[in-house]
């Protein structure tokens, strides 16, 4: 994900580059935050919370950039259909009430519902670990976007002082989550 100014495009828009194809992800009303090389840029939010989500705004924006937005039904590598920000249509009938193509507002509503279960699962493992909201958001992102989901967290030992290298992979996604983990915050995790 890139702020427009870094790639010679519209200054206040966020762009996704995938296999050399650049897609406009939309206008950032509070400005676009440019990060270090190799880490996805993101839209700034005025406040730290987003209504309907247990994760903060920075975590939500990073998760959206990691998952990507698909307005039409699309079949994953494992033949499961999905739409929006990774909303699974398994069984397929689950998505029959979803207007296709889905807009980003509706897709965000679906994401909020999907993250309730994931956040609850992460809370079970994170309870009492003294995490801040950025660390919690990184774990929710990991659980939502990894193949093994929240179950993979059962095998990991962590606390607010744990090095995230023991939790996240060493690829660009893992580095992005590690950077979110290290972001200072005075707000505690919601569980």
161 occurs within a structural domain: yes
| Residues contacting residue 31 through CB under 8 Å, at least 6 positions apart | 12, 43, 44
In a domain, 30, yes or no: yes
Eight-state DSSP code of residue 103: P
| 132 assigned to some structural domain | yes
Which pLDDT tens digit goes with each residue over 143-188? 998 877 788 777 777 777 777 777 888 788 888 899 899 888 888 8
**Whole-prediction pTM:** 0.73
C-alpha closest to that of 142 among 168, 161, 124: 168
Summarised one tens digit per residue, pLDDT across range 175-187 is 889 989 988 888 8
- Asked, for residue 51, whether it belongs to a domain, the answer is no
Residues 24 and 97 in one domain: no
78 and 36, same structural domain? no
Structure confidence by residue, pLDDT tens digits, 37-88: 777 787 765 544 556 678 988 899 889 988 988 899 989 888 889 999 999 9
Number of domains in the chain: 2
- Answer whether 87's CB lies under 8 Å from 111's CB: yes
The predicted pLDDT at position 44 comes to 67
* CA-closest candidate to residue 141, choices 70, 66, 87: 66
Do 79 and 158 have their domain in common? yes
Q: Give 126's pLDDT tier (boundaries 50, 70, 90).
A: confident
- Residue 67 located in a structural domain: yes
87 & 14 share domain = no
Query: Is residue 190, in this structure, part of any structural domain at all?
Result: no
What residues make up the domain containing 94?
A: 63-182
For residue 101, the domain's CATH number is 1.10.530.40
Judge if 95 and 172 occupy the same domain: yes
Do 11 and 68 belong together in one domain?
Answer: no
Cα Rg of the chain, angstroms: 16
Nearest CA to 164 out of 153, 96, 189, 62 is that of 153
pLDDT greater at residue 164 or residue 135 = 135
């Amino acid at each position: 994900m890139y702020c427009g100014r870094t790639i010679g495009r519209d200054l206040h828009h966020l762009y996704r580059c995938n296999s050399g194809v650049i897609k406009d992800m939309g206008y950032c009303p509070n400005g676009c935050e440019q990060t270090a090389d190799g880490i996805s840029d993101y839209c700034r939010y005025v406040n730290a919370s987003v209504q309907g989500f247990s994760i903060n705004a920075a975590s939500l924006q990073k998760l959206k950039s990691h998952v990507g937005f698909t307005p039409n039904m699309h079949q994953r590598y494992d033949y499961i259909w999905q739409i929006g920000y990774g909303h699974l249509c398994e069984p397929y009938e689950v998505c029959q009430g979803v207007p296709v193509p889905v807009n980003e507002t509706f897709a965000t509503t679906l994401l909020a519902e999907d993250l309730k279960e994931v956040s609850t699962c992460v809370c079970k493992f994170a309870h009492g670990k003294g995490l801040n909201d950025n660390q919690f958001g990184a774990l929710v992102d990991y659980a939502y976007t990894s193949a093994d989901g929240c179950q993979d967290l059962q095998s990991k030992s962590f606390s607010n002082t744990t090095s995230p290298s023991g939790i996240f992979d060493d690829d660009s996604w893992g580095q992005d989550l590690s950077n979110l983990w290290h972001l200072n915050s005075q707000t505690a995790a919601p569980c």
